[in-house]
Amino acid sequence: MTTHTFDEQYWERHWTPGAASVMGTAPPHPYLAIELAGLPPGTALDAGCGAGAEAIWLAERGWQVTAADIAAAALSRAAERATAAGVDGRVDWVQADLSTWEPSAAFDLVLTNYAHPAIPQLAFYDRIAAWVAPGGTLLIVGHLDGHGHGHGHNGEEPPPEATVTAASITARLDPGVWEVVTAVETERTVARPDGSTKRLADVVVRARRRGTD
Ligand SMILES: C[S@@+](CC[C@H](N)C(=O)[O-])C[C@H]1O[C@@H](n2cnc3c(N)ncnc32)[C@H](O)[C@@H]1O
């Protein structure tokens, strides 16, 4: 059982230098290249951007990115990485609690990778899906349910309340509004900084909001 809530305090601690050293240097998720390669760049929101790898990947490919996170420590690390990558002008870093924040305009692309706020996971996906413009794309990368429920990030396993299935996400996407393009459950191996490896079980859902056919 998780013994804490995924609130701002939790995530600030998570991203405090030292604790953040692992995720703070992680490369972008491989699903971006697979799922987004064919899309023309436009505006994008990275919801729960952490240390910014995915936002920077998008900016390098011409997207104008709003990268939002509840943790100032994560955004500060992310902004340093964006400067080093030379994409400062293409990313707006926004400190916001996405369970209450509202954007001023919809985005051509809304993506989220492993973000799990204090509100229920699927309710969070409902919120961010509403911010996709007609004809735009939603990309969700989450932790797969049923694979080593643990005690949160310190135990390395995602907590059960942060896990989902592809079907649980697509069930929330009204077929009259969304065309589901990808809905997969997959595993991959990632390297830890000490050279060892670990397996991750992921859910990847990509959907296109109808409206500009
Ligand atoms: C596990 S990290 C993933 C970071 C990054 N997207 C990645 O894939 O490496 C989850 C991120 O979601 C952010 N987050 C959690 N709750 C949030 C909320 N309510 N609003 C905005 N960001 C939130 C955390 O601060 C953290 O950076």
3-state secondary structure 173-206: CCCCCEEEEEEEEEEEEEECCCCCEEEEEEEEEE
Q: Which two tokens stand for residue 142?
A: 């989450």
92 contacts 67 by C-beta, under 8 angstroms:
yes
Cβ neighbour number for residue 51 with a 10 Å cutoff: 26
User: Looking at residue 27, what is its pLDDT?
Assistant: 87
Could you tell me the mean pLDDT of each successive run of 10 residues in the chain, 213 residues long? 72 71 74 96 98 97 98 94 96 98 98 95 98 98 78 63 96 98 96 85 97 71
Among 141, 142, 134, which Cα is nearest to 176's?
A: 134
Q: Which two tokens stand for residue 143?
A: 């932790």
Q: How far is the CA of 213 from the centre of ligand 1 (A)?
A: 33
Which CATH entry fits the domain spanning 8-17+40-209: 3.40.50.150, 3.30.565.10, 3.40.50.20, 3.30.365.10? 3.40.50.150
User: Looking at residue 2, what is its pLDDT?
Assistant: 52
Among 164, 157, 160, which Cα is nearest to 183's?
A: 164
User: Looking at residue 16, what is its pLDDT?
Assistant: 74
Amino acid at the residue 107? F
Domain spans, the chain: 8-17+40-209
DSSP structural state of residue 3: -
Q: HSE of 92 in the Cβ direction (CA atoms, 13 Å)? A: 9
Pairing of strands 64-69, 43-47: parallel
Q: How far is the CA of 70 from the centre of ligand 1 (A)?
A: 7
24 contacts 51 by C-beta, under 8 angstroms:
yes
Burial class (CB in 10 A: 0-12, 13-18, 19+), 204: buried
Which residue among 9, 23, 70, 153 is best mutated to probe the pocket of ligand 1, counting the most ligand atoms within 8 A of its Cβ? 70
Cβ neighbour number for residue 120 with a 10 Å cutoff: 13
Ligand 1 environment, Cβ below 6 A: 6, 11, 23, 26, 48-50, 68-71, 74, 96-99, 113-115, 117
This prediction's pTM: 0.92
Q: Which two tokens stand for residue 140?
A: 């969700």
Amino acid at the residue 162? A
What are phi and psi for residue 34, nearest 5 degrees? -70, -45
Nearest-atom index, ligand 1, CA of 100: 19
CA distance 83 to 55: 12
Q: How far is the CA of 94 from the centre of ligand 1 (A)?
A: 12
User: Looking at residue 155, what is its pLDDT?
Assistant: 53
Instruction: Report the sign of the C-alpha dihedral through residues 132, 206, 110, 57, in that order.
Output: negative
